[in-house]
Structure 1
Amino acid sequence: MIEALDIQVKGIVQGVGFRPFVYRLAKKYLINGWVLNATDGVFIHAEGEAKLLDEFVIELSENPPAASRVEEVALKEVPLEDFDSFEIRFSDAGAVEKTTLVSPDLATCDDCVRELFNPNDRRYRYPFINCTNCGPRFTIIEKLPYDRKSTSMKDFPMCERCAREYGDPLDRRFHAQPDACFECGPHVSWREHEGLPGALGANPETQTDVSRETLRAADAIAAPLGQMTWGSTRAESDAILARAVELLCAGKILAVKGLGGFHLVCDANNADAVALLRARKRREGKAFAVMAATTDDVRRVCEVSDA
């Protein structure tokens, strides 16, 4: 017998691929109806055979996307509306007095890492690669519901290929609000103090001659900054990252703007660079955070428990 349910799912269910997950489940269990994001969770209207409807709800609760957190699933029997398909609807702009939980920013997933280092992929070495399963969330949202127009990505209209991914419920980037590429998305930018040899974008006619000693002094931040360079293409972006590595290896200090603020970065194996950072930060004894590429790298310098 065909039955109908209204289902409300509360928890971290926005920006984590929950709607395409529901869409795929609906196709699997022959469910018709719709799903949408609202300010107090995800709402689903589901119509199908009673047994399949039960299995749909169980999987919805027990096997949600890895980045989500289902805190409550509320069910309500409702009259049939005789839908003949299942669709993903636009977010509900109402009920603004209510709120839902928004996912924290998520580390780059394995699929995106594979694309990032695949020379045949169009996002090869694109610094802001992301998908529904990873990337920025909390730090780009401006208001609920979590849609692109409500994030800092609203200023980056998607190119045709990104828009096609964004609109395909079976694509990993369906409604991934930060979806972008070299063609349409944000790019890295770079500025450095004038006088450093090999500076990117430096104009030899206007570049100030600043000595190495001046640049290493505690008041080096007062030295003139060169012009801004943008990594609008893969080659330009690669050149910026290569220059950053070059200066880190030379004992310099970089300020890296991340999603939630700036990281001051230097080579932790360079005692002079660490001492200079301590002097500039007036942080004589308190430990700095240390980054390492792998757990094995950490084990080489630290005691690491199984946990």
Structure 2
Amino acid sequence: GVGFRPWVWRLAQAHALRGWVRNDSDGVDMLLQGTPADMAALARALRSEPPPLARIDDVCWTDAAAEPLRAEFVILESAQRSAAHTAIGADSAVCPDCLAEMFDPAARRWRFAFSNCTHCGPRYTITRGIPYDRVHTSMAAFPMCPICATEYADPSDRRFHAEPIACPTCGPQLRWLDPQGQSLACEDALQSTVAALRAGAIVAIKGLGGFHLACDARNAGAVQR
């Protein structure tokens, strides 16, 4: 969940390597075909230039059986093993790029509260199983729209293989609910929340890992309740 496969893909392109990379229940597997010098350069980059959220615990190299030269380097579907040993990445605060989009009226994700990319967003609290793929997260309930699917498949996009990718068209929506859990008609859930807090109400804000109870700390009655 740290953008490791897209990062390896870009390194492979930079060093003219062929083969594949994939997630599995133990971590990340890859097959490299190329010159010893290019493979050594990628190996050095694995240690010295990891993605922002990555932590590399161990790297194991073995000589693979000879096979025909592959046409390119690709990201394969994940492999599932009977035993799972991979740690799930932690949730990460929204990155500056996603924040900039959220506040840009011209951006597709303007005011979209659930924006994320390979460098930020939910990981641990949305994961239901491994390998870490969208189908194994709570985002499986939100099929990607055509534009998100294009971003997901674009190596030049920072959402390349970002499993929680979403937008206002296909992703979760910010909603305002009454105490019985029924949706209330309101144009802006965030503004309704602000108004309720100012009026002395206690608001339960559903986050990634649970609920945050919020009130106006300057309102003695709200704090007492």
Q: Shorter chain as normaliser: what TM range?
A: over 0.9
**Identity, % of aligned positions:** 46
Alignment of 1:1-307 (within 5 A): 15-81=1-67, 82-93=69-80, 95-192=81-178, 225=180, 227-229=182-184, 236=187, 239-276=188-225
- The answer as to whether partners of 2:3 and 2:119 remain within 8 angstroms in 1 is yes
Tell whether the 8 Å contact from 2:176 to 2:192 is kept in structure 1 after alignment. Answer: no
Cα drift, residue 29 of structure 1: 1.0
Question: Residue 264 of structure 1 aligns to which amino acid in structure 2?
Answer: L
> Which has the higher relative contact order, 1 or 2, with Cα contacts under 8 A spaced 6 or more apart?
2
Structure 1 contact 21–65 (Cα < 8 Å) conserved: yes
Looking at structure 1, the residues matched to 84 and 122 of structure 2 have their Cα atoms a distance apart, in angstroms, of: 23
More strand by percentage: 1
Compared CA separation, residues 180 and 230, structure 1 to 2 (3 A): farther
State how far apart, in whole Å, the 2-side matches of 1:260 and 1:57 are.
36
Structure 1 Cα separation of the partners of residues 16 and 30 of structure 2: 14
Match of 1:12 in 2: none
Secondary structure of the residue that 2:123 maps to in structure 1? coil
Deviation at 1:230, TM superposition (A): 7.1
1:178–1:230 Cα change, 3 Å: farther
SS, match of residue 71 in structure 1: coil
* C-alpha RMSD over aligned residues: 1.7
- Matched to 2:119, the amino acid is N
Deviation, 1:53, is 1.2
The amino acid that maps onto 1:31 is L
1 CA distance for matches of 2:2 and 2:181? 40
Unaligned runs of 5+ in 1: 1-14, 194-224, 277-307
> Quick one: distance in 2 between partners of 1:269 and 1:48?
65
Q: TM-score, normalised by structure 1?
A: 0.69
C-alpha distance in structure 1 between counterparts of 2:61 and 2:113, whole Å: 42
3-state SS, counterpart of residue 35 of structure 1: strand
Q: What is the CA-CA distance between 1:169 and the residue it aligns to?
A: 2.6
Give the Cα–Cα distance (whole angstroms) in 2 for the partners of residues 31 and 157 of structure 1: 32
Give the Cα–Cα distance (whole angstroms) in 1 for the partners of residues 126 and 183 of structure 2.
23
Normalised by the size of structure 2, how large is the TM-score? 0.94
Number of aligned residues: 224
Counterpart CA distance in 2 for 1:106 and 1:51 is: 35
Deviations 1:164-187 (A, max 9, x none): 111223321122121111111111
Runs ≥4 residues deviating over 6 A:
none
Stretches of structure 2 lacking an aligned partner (at least 5 in a row):
none
Structure 2 letter corresponding to 1:255: A
